[in-house]
Structures are given as C-alpha cells and as structure tokens.
Amino acid sequence: MATVTGLSRRALLGAAAAGLIADHAFAQAPFELDELTIAELRKYSSESLVTRYLERIERIDRSGPALRAVIETNPDALEIARAMDKEPSRGPLHGIPVLIKDNIDTADRMMTTAGSLALEGSIALKDSFVAQRLRAAGAVILGKTNLSEWANFRSTHSTSGWSGRGGLTRNPYALDRNTSGSSSGSGAAVAANLCAVAVGSETDGSIVSPAAMNGLVGIKPTVGLIGRSGIIPISINQDTAGPMARTVADAAVLLTVLAGVDPNDPYTKAGDGKRAADYSKFVGPDGLRGARLGVARKFFGYNRDVDALMEEAIAEMKRRGAVIVEPADLPTHGKFDDSEFEAMLYEFKDGLNRYLAGTRPSVGVRSLGAVIDFNEKNRAREMPYFGQEILLKAQAKGPLTEKAYRDAVAKNRLLSRGQGIDAVLAKDKLDAIVAPAGGPAWLTDLVTGDHDTGGSSTPAAVAGYPNITVPAGMVRGLPVGISFFGAAWSEGVLIRVASGFEAAVKGRRKPGFLGTAAV
C-alpha cells in the first residue's frame, strides 16, 4: 500500500476521521535540543535550556499534537535558571530542567494534585524529599507532569494517562495510542524532548510500563533507595519515585541525585551502606559480558511480534557475552496478585488519610471519604469516563492492624521474595531476570478502559526490588521495552547490564507524532 509521510493512506484516513492528525511539518522541524543527553546539554546556559523547553512545551504539548504531558509549568523556572547560571556547578544536574510527576510535593507556586480536581489550588507546605534533592543538586524543576489520576488507583475500568485536572495524555509515537501509566506525562514528556529527564513514581508498573511504551529507560529502584516523604501515597511497601530518561547514563545521573536517607521515611535507613555514591560508574558498553541472565518465559506469549523481538534481544545478549539461563520463571508466578491488591487497598486508605490530614490544611478534602464525596458531587468533571470503584473498596477497609491486612503483606513478602525472585536468582546464580516490559501501546479507549498487552512489573514491585526497562526496538512503529529485575539494592548490577544492552541494541527511536500507528 502506498504511504504518505511514512503513514499508510488507510491509517491517515482513520486518523483524520478521529481528528488526530498531527502537525507533521512541525514533527519534522529541527529542535536544537532534540535527543541531547545531560552531558551534551551542559554546554548551554540553564536559562537558554529552560527557554527552549518552555517554548517546545507551548508548541507541542498545549497546541500542535497537544500531548498534554505537562499539567503545569513552573512560573519561577526562568528565575531559578538565571540563579543557577551565576553559581558554581553543584554537579551533573546543575541547571538542567527536570519535570516531576504531579503527585510529588513542591513548596513553590505549583500545585500538587495527583491529577484530581479535589486538590486543585492546593500547594504543599513543604518540599518532598525528591524536590529537596533536585534543588540541592542545582536542577531546575521545570513543571509537573500529568498522570493517571490518583496514580491509577481509582477505577477498575480506568484509562491510563487521564486525569480530571490534566485531561488525556497522548503517546507521541501515535496520538491515538496510550501512554500507559501512571507516570504517563513523565513518559510522554521525555520521549517528546520536552525536558532532559523526568521523575516518575511506581507502585506496580507505573515507571517501567510508560517508559517502555514511550521508548525510554525507566528505573524502579529498591523501596527505600529514594525517600518518599511528600509523595501522595498508595502503598508503604511498594511506592517509590524513580528516573525516566532517554539513556541509561542519564537515568543513572538522576538516580544518583535522588537516592539518599530521608529522615521522614524509615524505609530509607535500610539502604545505609547499600547505596552507590555514583550510579554512573556502572554505565558502560560491555556490561553484558559475563552477566548471568535468566529468562522468565511466563511473561511471553501476549504478542508474537514482541516475542520475536525478545528472541532477537536474547540472541544479541548471548553474542555480547551474556550467559542466558532459561527458563527462569518464578515458582510463585501469579500467586500473589490478589494479596497485592488487598494490601494496597488498606495502605492507600491509611496513607492518603495521613497525607491529607498532615500536609494540606488549606484543602477542603482531608480524607479518602471526602475525596469520594467530592467526586460524586462533581461527576461530570471527575467521572465522565470511569468511576471510583477502587476508592470505594479502599474506604471499606479497616486499620492496618487487621489480620487480613497483615496476612496479605506476609504472603506478598514470602511469595515475591524468598520463594520468588530470591529463590530464582540463587538457584542459577543469576545477576538478573529478563522479561518483556510489556506489549506495544494499545489504542486509547475511553469507553472500555485500558487493554492488557502484557507486563512483567509485578514481582519486583511487590518484593520492593529494583527493575529497569530499556528500549528493545519497535513493533509496527511503536516502541517496546525489555526489563531486567533483580535482588534488593542491586541497582548497580542492573544498570551495568542495561547499559550493555542499550549499547548493543540501540533500540530507541524518536517519536514521529503520527496520528495513528502504521500497521
């Protein structure tokens, strides 16, 4: 079939009917900062970087393709950048613009809302630990990114990337495709070169899945590597912030800045002596040589094209000196899905009630129950496409002292750790477990919600262990990622392996802002 600008006529007609044709002239127009790494950006002044990125956000995020990745820009970004230009360098992130997810508190003129209109107008009284670390490193917080509302813990029929406050984030590879979530805006923004790097957060899949579907590197670190105070919570046992970047090297720089002991997060004390001073030292082209990698085959089988791409990736890793062991499936695969959700319901209610009561005295909603009531009173704006079934389930739960909760947490830890990841790693003396990060982006569907295309995030998420996804290539014009996950505090090992894979495969491709995927 003949093509027009790389898109079939059938696809163009379908996209036109849906009103999703992007500005192809703009998509092909040069952008001076396009695909530049943090190291390459350092030759520019911070003021010039902020100016260029703000212009690009205005042109393609709020108009043009209208990605809606950025929910709010920082009105003080230029002033901060000028101040950074006058200071001596504080490190590799000095003066670099960074976007952060809109569930991470900043005590400035920006709101933190988790995408919910219930928190609109609300400004945190104190910087989150993440924001503190970024400012101390000289980074410029450029703005907040859109997300799946309440970090996708609201409805069983939700559409990832949609929030009441921010609307729908679109995938920059094909605008009718989903970004995945919940770090939807962070993923789309970095992919579209609206910033150098961004911070996402994950409870289960919310960094690695949008990273994969937006052609990015995403690092979900060990729970406790990065402090979580000032992040709107879901699960005390699984929540963590993490980097989203176009290269492993940039993700490692951001991880180094974010990692540290948070006096308001006791989980970070477990990382004493286990954090690396600089995660960049693990980055190199030969990271696959001698690495023992187990292939988790039970995560295959969702999509034949993805499976074929994974087979090519495994073959290339062998050629680069990796020892491939398979199958390396968890004997507990799929056995803790229900207990994970059960524990999260309890923890969300407890954590959100504490957060709203303690950090937002000026907000009208001070509890999960009040959020539910707000949504009911504002159904047209807050629930036009899906409801709040998960919020209602959480509200029905009791305190964390209940036996059902304690049993669920104990089951999660046993099956994901000792009888899960740790058992597999020990059996075959593995450095990491390998699996598809997921399938290509599904068509966004506001009627029936998200569509499962596979994913391997749950074991590491429930265990609280690290997981890194790296671009593996393209399937029908859409990016697909490969994930490496391993033992607690093994970020250095995973970064070494991931950077070796990145150097071997070079799987990232720039997005084209097409109206629909070329199929």
Question: pLDDT tens across 376-422, in order?
Answer: 999 999 999 999 999 999 999 999 999 999 999 999 999 999 999 99
pLDDT category of residue 9 using cuts at 50, 70 and 90: very low
- Report d(CA 225, CA 272) in Å as an integer: 9
pLDDT value of position 327: 96
Specify if 133 maps to a domain: yes
Specify if 510 maps to a domain: no
Q: Can you give the three-state secondary structure of 367-418, one letter per residue?
A: CHHHHHHHHHHCHHHHCCCCCCHHHHHHHCCCCCCCHHHHHHHHHHHHHHHH
Instruction: Give the whole-number percent of the chain exceeding pLDDT 70.
Output: 94
pLDDT value of position 7: 39
- Report d(CA 374, CA 372) in Å as an integer: 5
pLDDT value of position 477: 97
| Domain CATH number, residue 295 | 3.90.1300.10
Instruction: Give the whole-number percent of the chain exceeding pLDDT 90.
Output: 92
Q: Is 456 in the active site?
A: no
Specify if 446 maps to a domain: yes
pLDDT category of residue 364 using cuts at 50, 70 and 90: confident
Specify if 513 maps to a domain: no
pTM of the model: 0.95
pLDDT value of position 54: 98
pLDDT value of position 358: 83
Specify if 66 maps to a domain: yes
Please choose, from the candidates 122, 134, 116, the residue with its C-alpha nearest in 3D space to the C-alpha of residue 254. 134
Q: Which residue has the higher pLDDT, 51 or 1?
A: 51
71-96: b or e for each residue (b if 16 or more CB lie within 10 Å)? bbbbeebeebbeebeeeeeeebbbbb
| 76 pLDDT more than 80 | yes
Specify if 485 maps to a domain: yes
Average pLDDT across the chain, whole number: 94
Specify if 517 maps to a domain: no
pLDDT value of position 491: 99
Q: Are 445 and 486 in contact (CB under 8 A)?
A: no
pLDDT category of residue 123 using cuts at 50, 70 and 90: very high
pLDDT value of position 277: 98
| 1 pLDDT more than 90 | no
Total domains in the chain come to 1
pLDDT value of position 424: 98
Q: Is 416 in the active site?
A: no
The encoded tokens of residue 240 equal 């963590």
- Report d(CA 101, CA 200) in Å as an integer: 6
Q: Is 128 in the active site?
A: no
| 465 pLDDT more than 70 | yes
Domain coverage including residue 498: 3-505
pLDDT value of position 33: 98
180, 182, 280, 499: the catalytic one is: 182
Specify if 481 maps to a domain: yes
pLDDT category of residue 28 using cuts at 50, 70 and 90: low
Question: pLDDT tens across 221-257, in order?
Answer: 999 999 999 999 999 999 999 999 999 999 999 999 9
pLDDT value of position 362: 72
Among 7-21, 227-241, 354-368, 457-471, name the one with the lowest average pLDDT: 7-21
| 14 pLDDT more than 70 | no
183, 206, 416, 456: the catalytic one is: 206
Q: Which residue has the higher pLDDT, 13 or 184?
A: 184
Question: pLDDT tens across 316-357, in order?
Answer: 999 999 999 999 999 999 999 999 999 999 999 999 999 999
